Amino acid sequence: MSDTPINLDDLRQRIDQLDGDILRLISERANCAQQVAHVKLAQDKDAIFYRPEREAQVLRRIMSLNQGPLDSEEMARLFREIMSACLALEQPVKVAYLGPEGTFTQQAALKHFGESAVSLPMAAIDEVFREVEAGAVHYGVVPVENSTEGVVNHTLDTFMDSSIKICGEVVLRIHHHLLISETTRRDKVSRIYSHPQSFGQCRKWLDAHYPHAERVPVSSNAEAAKLVKTEWHSAAIAGDMAAKLYGLERIADKIEDRPDNSTRFLIIGNQDVPLSGEDKTSIVVAMRNQPGALHDLLEPFHRHRIDLTRIETRPSRTGVWNYVFFIDFKGHRDEPQVAAVLEEVRLRASELRVLGSYPLGVL
C-alpha cells in the first residue's frame, strides 16, 4: 500500500473515464447486434432473432473470463441485461408466463430473458402453451419441478396435447416469506393463503409456528398476496416480487423447510435450438405394457453412457394403466451418441417424441 492518501476526486475521475469507455463499448456492441439482425433477415425473412444457444455461449464465456471482484453470476447478470437490450433492438421478444404478476415464474422469465423482454401473465399453464402455439407470443415460461415438492404434473400433461418445443430451462432458488398487509392484525392471523406447492415447501415451519391457522390453497402465490391486501386476519406465503408488487410486509423470512429449495422452469417455443456445447434433451416415450419395458427403454442410455437427469411417469390417458415416461438427459439430439440412443429407443417404443434439445441453464 503506497503512503499517498487515496484521492476521492481522482478515483471518481477514473470511474467517469471508465463509464465513458463502457458506454462506448456497449453502444458499439448494440450496433453489432443491429447488424446481426440485418444479416438474419437477409438470410431468412422469417428469421428467429432470439438464439438461446448463442446467449448461453456468451454468458458461459463471460463467467469463465471473469476474475472478480464481482462474482461470475453477478457479472453474467449484467451481460444478460446487455444482451436483453441488444435483442430488443433486433426484435422485442414477447414472453407469456404463469401469472399473475409477482409469481416466481415471472421472476424466472425476467432472469432468463432480462428486463427488456415484454412479459405477459397468463392465468394457467395451458394458457401459456396456447399463447405460444397461437403465435401471440414468441416464448412461454412454465414451472416443471420443485426440489422439495417434485414435478408439476400439469406442465408435463400439457406437453402431451401440444406440439410445443422446449427451448431452454432456468432454475430459481425459491425463498418463501410470510407476508401481511398494513391492515393485518399480526397476532390474529388465522388464515394463510398460498399455492399448494408452497404450502408443501413450508409445511414444517407452518406446523411449528401456525399450527391452527387455516391453510387456503389458491392458484398462485401472487394471488395469495392479492387476497391478503383485503383481509385483516390473513397472511400469504409468497416471494420477494409479490411482496414488492403488492406492498406487503415480511413478518417471517425464508420459511421454506429446505435451504436448497429450488424450482426449475422450462422455456417453451416453436423453434429447434442448435448445439450450444453444454446441452440437455427432453423426450416423452410410450412403451408397450409388457414385462421388462422399462429396462428396454433405459438400457440404450446406459450402454451409450448418457447421463439421465430425470425420469417421470405420467398416465398416458390412452387407456387404463398405460403410462408415458418423461426423460431428461445430458446431450443434444444432434450429437452422434444421443442420435444413436434416440434411434434405438424409437425402435423399442410404441411412441417417442423429442420435446427439445436446449442449453443447460446458465444463470
CB of 194 to ligand PRE, least distance (A): 35
Q: What is the closest distance, in whole angstroms, from the C-beta atom of residue 138 to ligand PRE in the complex? A: 11
Give the interface segment with ligand PRE, choosing from 45-53, 141-149, 164-172, 290-298 (CB under 6 A): 45-53
CB closer to ligand PRE out of 58 and 128: 58
The grid cell for 41 is: 433477415
Give yes or no for residue 88 binding ligand PRE (CB under 6 A): no
Q: Does 87 bind ligand PRE (CB under 6 A)?
A: yes
Instruction: Pick from 56, 86, 345, 355 the residue near ligand PRE by CB under 6 A.
Output: 86
Amino acid at 349: A
Could you please report the per-residue DSSP string of 90-130?
Answer: H-PPEEEEESSTT-HHHHHHHHHH-TTSEEEEESSHHHHHH
- Binding part of the chain for ligand PRE, among 3-11, 43-51, 163-171, 347-355 by CB under 6 A, reads 43-51
Per CB under 6 A, the list member of 56, 58, 75, 96 interacting with ligand PRE is 58
Owner of C-alpha cell 423447510:
257
Nearer to ligand PRE by Cβ, of 36 and 142: the residue is 36
Give the HSE-up count for residue 4: Cα atoms under 13 Å, Cβ half-sphere. 4
Percentages helix, strand, coil for the chain, rounded to the nearest 5? 40, 25, 35
Q: Is 53 in the site for ligand PRE (CB under 6 A)?
A: no
Report which of 104, 135, 99 is spatially closest to residue 119, judged by C-alpha positions: 99
Instruction: Give, to the nearest 10 degrees, the angle between helix 72-90 and helix 52-65.
Output: 150
End-to-end alpha-carbon separation of the chain, Å? 36
Binding to ligand PRE (CB under 6 A) within 134-193 occurs at none
Among 41, 54, 72, 229, binds ligand PRE (CB under 6 A): 54
Stretch that binds ligand PRE, among 84-92, 177-185, 250-258, 270-278 (CB under 6 A): 84-92
Site size for ligand PRE (CB under 6 A): 12
Q: Out of 56, 59, 62, 83, which residue is the one contacting ligand PRE (CB under 6 A)?
A: 83
Cβ–Cβ under 8 Å, residues 176 and 254 = yes
Nearer to ligand PRE, 33 or 311 (CB): 33
Residue 55 in contact with ligand PRE, rule: CB under 6 A: yes
Helix (H, G, I), strand (E, B) or coil at 120: strand
Q: Pick between residue 47 and residue 216 the one whose CB is nearest to ligand PRE.
A: 47
Edge-to-edge order in the sheet of strand 308-315: 308-315, 323-330, 279-286, 351-359
Strands 262-269 and 139-146: antiparallel
Q: Which parts of this chain interact with ligand PRE (CB under 6 A)? A: 33, 36, 49-51, 54-55, 58, 83, 86-87, 90
